[in-house]
Structure 1
Amino acid sequence: MSEREAIDSFIDKWRARWPEWSVAEVFVPHAQRETAAAWMALVQELTDAAWGGSDPRPGEAKLGWWAEELQGWTRGIRRHPLGIVLQKFPVDWLLLARALPALRDSRERPVDSDEAHTQLRPFAEAAASIEAGLFGGAADAQALVAANLLQLRLAHHPGEAVPLQVLAQVGEGAALAAWSQQLAGRISVRGGTAPRRVLAGIAKSRLRRGDAVQPVGAMRALWAAWGAARG
């Protein structure tokens, strides 16, 4: 497999979950699009490791490997194909590596909405800082990043995603829809970088419809991305 094919294999896996991006990325500067897709694919690899599977141990091992990989990026060493796109940027990859234990610990079901965001704060702060370095923009956009991450968890790893308080209030049958609406209310597409705002705008559109995982139509995605990009 060539380097290009290896990179595309991970980006395509991310794009498969976000088909709306094919129309929404028009609102991301052209020079940033490959970097944005590679960065979002990296975040997907990390969150899948943290939240995926019934047994947390394989994911913990993957996060350990990624911590070593990110530390290597700070020294100009890379093994993973995504590093071909990302490692060259002078951002603090060590900061992201140090935040991975908090991402691992966020696997535990939160008590309420505030705890759900608090669990992710260290990783979201590190991710927001990396994004500011990659794309420009405010580095203090951790609330937007955290809300977007919680949507990702609800969509792809819903098992422990809904807080206990929501389950108690509405019951298990209505919990996913109720948590979707709460998360939609917490996504404010202001500040942060253009790629993050656009992705968060699409995520909010999905959540408002009540289904975190199913893509929205092209016109709705375009409208959501346009509004988010302006934010």
Structure 2
Amino acid sequence: MTTSSALDSFLDKWRTRWPEWSVAEPFVPLAQRNLVVAWFTLLQEFDDILNTGGDPMPADAKLAWWGEELRSWAGQRSRHPLGRLLEPLRAPWAELAQALPALVDARAAPLDPAQAMAGLQAYAAAVAAVEAVVFDTPARGDVAAPVLVQTLAQRLHEAGVAAVPRSLLDAGHGDAAQLWAQQLLAGWPARVAGPRPRRLYASLARSRLQARAQGRELKVTPVRTLLRTWWAGRG
């Protein structure tokens, strides 16, 4: 497989998981679109490592590899196909690498919502700092908060009850996963701070969490997605 086809394979894998992006993508400048998908593909790699099930050793080894890779990007050297698009950017890659071990600790069920938030706060801040460079947008407002909530929402989506704080499980008030979704949703406005690609991505992820919080199946239509992302993408 050539480097170009390997890169396309990674980008297509993310697009398959987020088919709604085809409706949101026109709100991103044409020259930036592959870069945006490359960045979100990298974050999906980290989400998969966070939400791995069974034996964690392969995921831990992969995380260690990514730490080394990101540090090499800081020195303008890359091995992974995603580096073709991302490594030339002078982003704080080493700082993101330093925050990655938090993903291992965050696999354990948190005692309560506050611990769930605290466990991934440094990681979310590192992601937001890189995004400010990747999307060439100065940070305004609390840009780490949307990243944090979206990471926890994605964890709930992929890991289910394993992601729910123990305090909600112990309370015994109905569906604990649904209750956790409701709590996350309460702190996640329809339009968040941060660069436009983050706002668009957050709107898609938030709609999935909203369905979970309401105990219903997600109904995706192009018109609904268009209206949602148009609103989220407004400056």
Superposition TM-score, scaled by structure 1 size: 0.92
Contact 1:170–1:178 at 8 Å: present in 2 too? no
SS of 2:146's partner is helix
Point out where structure 1 has 5 or more consecutive residues left out of the alignment.
none
1:186 and 1:26 map into 2 onto residues whose CA distance is: 28
Moved more, 24-33 or 10-19: 24-33
Count of aligned pairs between the two proteins: 230
CA distances 1:179-220 after superposition (whole Å, capped 9, x unpaired) = 222222221333211111111111111222227995732222
Higher normalized helix content (fraction of residues): 1
TM-score under structure 2 length normalisation: 0.91
Instruction: Give yes or no for contact 1:187–1:200 (8 Å, CA) kept in 2.
Output: no
Alignment of 1:54-69 (within 5 A): 54-69=54-69
Q: In the alignment, is the contact (CA less than 8 A) between 2:211 and 2:217 conserved in 1?
A: no
Q: Pairwise CA RMSD of aligned residues?
A: 1.9
Aligned mates of 2:79, 2:96 — CA distance in 1: 17
Please say if 1:219 is aligned against 2:223.
yes
Q: Which stretch of structure 1 is more off in the superposition, 35-44 or 136-145?
A: 136-145
1:88-124 Cα deviation digits (max 9, x unpaired):
1111100110001112211111122222111110110
- Equivalent position of 1:146 in the other structure: 148
| Distance in 1 (alpha carbons) for counterparts of 2:89 and 2:197 | 16
Q: Deviations over 1:153-173 (max 9, x none)?
A: 1112225211112222345x6
Tell me, yes or no, if the aligned pair for 2:49 and 2:103 is still in contact at 8 Å. Answer: no
Name the stretch that deviates more: 94-103 or 8-17. Answer: 8-17
1:207 to 206, 209, 224: 209
> Does structure 2 retain, via aligned residues, the 8 Å contact 1:49–1:59?
yes
Q: 1:162 aligned to 2:190?
A: no
AA at the equivalent of 1:153: R
CA shift for structure 1 position 47? 1.9
Distance (whole Å) between structure 1 residues aligned to residue 97 and residue 121 of structure 2: 14
SS at match of 2:220: coil
Structure-1 residue corresponding to 2:38: 38
Q: The residue matched to 1:157 in structure 2 has which SS? A: helix
Q: Identity of paired residues, percent?
A: 44
Gaps of 5+ in 2: none
Distance 1:113 1:230 in 2: 31
